[in-house]
Amino acid sequence: MAKSPEMEHPVKAFGWAARDTTGILSPFKFSRRATGEYDVQLKVLYCGICHSDLHNAKNDWGLTPYPVVPGHEISGVVTEVGNKVKKFKVGDKVGVGCVVESCRQCDQCNKDLENYCSKLVLTYAATYTDGTPTYGGYSDIMVVNEHFVLHWPENLPLGAGAPLLCAGITTYSPLRHYGLDKPGLHIGIVGLGGLGHVGVKFAKAFGSKVTVISTSINKKKEAIEKLGADAFLISRDEEEMRGAVGTFDGIIDTVSAVHSLSPLLSLLKPDGKLIVVGAPEKPLEVPIFPELITGRKMVAGSMIGGWKETQEMLDFAAKHNILPDVEIVSMDYVNTAMERLVKSDVKYRFVIDVGKTLKPQ
């Protein structure tokens, strides 16, 4: 007979979970496994609220096993390490992102691309190697295999830095992989939310000229004055779009709502690349001819990053002082935060102060 969440592991744990497709979160008692020889146990201090947390809470993608404890932008402090752990000790500041296990032996894993392993285990709403469900960072403690724990750079704030673990790597990785990190390139960022705003910061740090592409003029001032974007293009303004045709080396599209790719493709120079990181529910239409063929353009995807690159990204962010813009909230604000997130009413990521506000009931 399946054990209850409280009983299935020896260490008591506490968090907030969604129990059905309303997505409403409430206190939830569960348990964590004992710290295995390669495990790191950490007290969660902060956890970013990713839009994926909302999708999962409501089962928008049809994959959610309830109850679900979301959260995959986790920063914390080590409380215990297994006897074979080499990279961490008690008291270290650490981070955990979207993946807590992979097969560790396939071609992808061997190339530090655990995020593309066919057996990857997500930080929450997935099944761990011991058959139990994974629970994420809206909770007091985590136990994670050392391989998937990140060193937290000294000078990086634990609260504001937490969203780097998903939003950060999700935009950093494709900028690097697709060669869109060279100084002087003209990069477009579509959508100015959690992903988009961090994308702007990384692209600027790489020395690109950055244009934010958005449906709404309201975001223009902020994009340019606060985030440092060089220009702003309203995708609904045909004249503006026409004037920008063929001027971009690359575009990172963070928008997950269904939208037309054609206007974005026409913005690209020949050999330009449109990278999709937001995940729409339905197929999008790709105009193969003329755009892709006559301009040798490409549409490509990207999903988070491997552990090694995530560490590299964190270190890069610390070195170049790249910080997400966050609104720190208490645990019991989470449902309101989710409602505001649906309306994109946040600049630009909520981060839960788990350490101070998550209290067992």
Partner 1 sequence: MAKSPETEHPLKAFGWASRDTSGFFSPFKFSRRATGEHDVQFKVLYCGVCHSDLHMAKNEWGFSQYPLVPGHEIVGEVTEVGSKVEKFKVGDKVGVGCLVGSCRQCDQCTNDLENYCDKQILTYSAPYTDGTITYGGYSNLMVADEHFVIRWPENLPLDIGAPLLCAGITTYSPLRYYGLDKPGLNVGIVGLGGLGHVAVKFAKAFGTKVTVISTSINKKKEAIEQLGADSFLVSRDPEEMKAAAGTLDGIIDTVSASHPLLPLISLLKPHGKIVVVGAPEKPLELPVFPIIIGRKVIGGSAIGGIKETQEMIDFAAKHNILPDVEIIPIDYINTAMDRLLKSDVKYRFVIDIAKSLKPE
Residues contributing to the site for partner 1 (CB under 8 A): 107-108, 113, 116, 118, 177, 246, 261-262, 269-271, 276-277, 279-280, 283-289, 291-303
Nearer to partner 1, 34 or 293 (CB): 293
Residue among 175, 194, 138, 177 at smallest CA distance from 26:
138
Nearer to partner 1, 62 or 131 (CB): 62
Residue among 245, 229, 225, 242 at smallest CA distance from 190:
229
- Min CB(128)–partner 1 separation in Å: 20
- Min CB(256)–partner 1 separation in Å: 9
Amino acid present at 301: G
- Min CB(297)–partner 1 separation in Å: 6
Residue among 191, 186, 188 at smallest CA distance from 216:
191
Are 168 and 160 in contact, with CB atoms under 8 Å apart? no
Q: How far is CA 329 from the centre of its chain?
A: 18
* DSSP output for 158-210: HHHHGGGGTHHHHHHHHHHHTT--STT-EEEEE--SHHHHHHHHHHHHTT-EE
- Min CB(356)–partner 1 separation in Å: 35
Nearer to partner 1, 107 or 225 (CB): 107
- Min CB(171)–partner 1 separation in Å: 13
Nearer to partner 1, 74 or 98 (CB): 98
Nearer to partner 1, 90 or 284 (CB): 284
The rounded distance, in Å, linking the Cα atoms of 51 and 34 is 30
- Min CB(262)–partner 1 separation in Å: 7
The rounded distance, in Å, linking the Cα atoms of 278 and 257 is 8
Nearer to partner 1, 25 or 99 (CB): 99
Are 96 and 148 in contact, with CB atoms under 8 Å apart? yes
